[in-house]
Structure 1
């Protein structure tokens, strides 16, 4: 089997499996940005393979490669966060106040969340606010608004997803 065939075969499988691979990574790790980055990195790794090898199941090979790359990424991110928190700890502890850049970051995120909540449909916003800010249970909200508990859960999930999406869009 030639080098060109090996690469074009893996590329063809990667192209045809792109959406499936991305969906798999989102389900497994819960982050669309990570999934997109890992699929791109998988593409780069396939391009960097120096020696042709026979791969009996190229799709399974690519999914395993992508899962391993995602795990490596998460591990390095976790290590980076530990390193950052250790470095910034003395400044935070010294006077008990958060650093000014963190205050600004929190204020910006709060403004984004306020706008996101305002964008929700009225009933969804009402359910979301009752649950998150008045600590009402699903049963209490259902009774209070005369809707099913299932509908309460749907509104809360929709509100959380919308807020998460808005924060992710702002970070990009």
Structure 2
């Protein structure tokens, strides 16, 4: 019975893989999405070994949304602190004083909240430019929009993020 349930779940994962990949591509970009999709499927499989899964699509999207959020937050963390010459792992293992760590965590939280508040396309353009280091032309090509629209999204994102952090 467990084998049959596992096979059924694998079929469902295969059936939902395209939607999952599209969902993640919108959130984190085409370069990272396949890895996160694979991780989401593995986690769903592991979860299904412990619990009965009734709605695989909801489970996958929930796991994928959490993975995407974690990825973006880590990218933000890396971006902010690598500029200052700090390694992200230093923050994680406590390389900063408690006061500095608290200040950094608060700044990261404000930035992450502001980033999540951006409209999806605006956020996607910002992440592709800032964290994936893609040129505006490449972003426009990948998203099927004009370079002017990429610039508009970037200006809006920077204005919003600057306002949230000031």
TM-score, normalised with respect to structure 2:
0.46
Kindly name which structure, 1 or 2, has the bigger radius of gyration based on alpha carbons: 1
